[in-house]
Amino acid sequence: MVMARRPSSQTLAVSALFLESTGQWHHGYDISKRLRIPSGTLYPILMRLSDRGHLETRWTESETPGRPARHMYRLTATGRDWAAVAVADARRQNLGVRQTAEGMA
């Protein structure tokens, strides 16, 4: 039984962010800053979502040397469906899916 547990608020926030811009690639550092989720929490989330087929990934090299490459993520088709349901469910139950860091202030 994969993903038995309801997604955490952090996972929901990440999912909502991807849903807002379906088809677009995002990278961890950007998501981390936008949602104020620390890297040690975010990267495991991104990896879990990827492992479950909700996100697909790709690497893009930096144009300036010395900077680490970016690991890009975006929703898969099934990921979009899963995220839509998960976020809608959470909103219905008023579980507070934050859109941005500011929205949670």
Q: Which residues bind DNA (CB under 7 A)?
A: 3-11, 27-30, 32-33, 37-41, 43-48, 62, 65-72
51 binds, among a copy of itself, DNA, none (CB under 5 to 8 A by kind): none
Nearer to a copy of itself, 38 or 65 (CB): 65
Residues 57-76 that bind a copy of itself (CB under 8 A): 59, 65-69, 71
Question: Tokens 């994969």 identify what position?
Answer: 2
Interhelix angle for 9-20 vs 39-51, to 10°? Answer: 70
Structure tokens at 91: 């909103």
Report how far residue 42's alpha carbon sits from residue 61's, in angstroms, rounded to the nearest whole number. 21
Which residues touch 104 (CB under 8 Å, ≥6 apart)?
Answer: 96, 98
| Shortest distance, position 84 Cβ to DNA, whole Å | 18
15 binds, among a copy of itself, DNA, none (CB under 5 to 8 A by kind): none
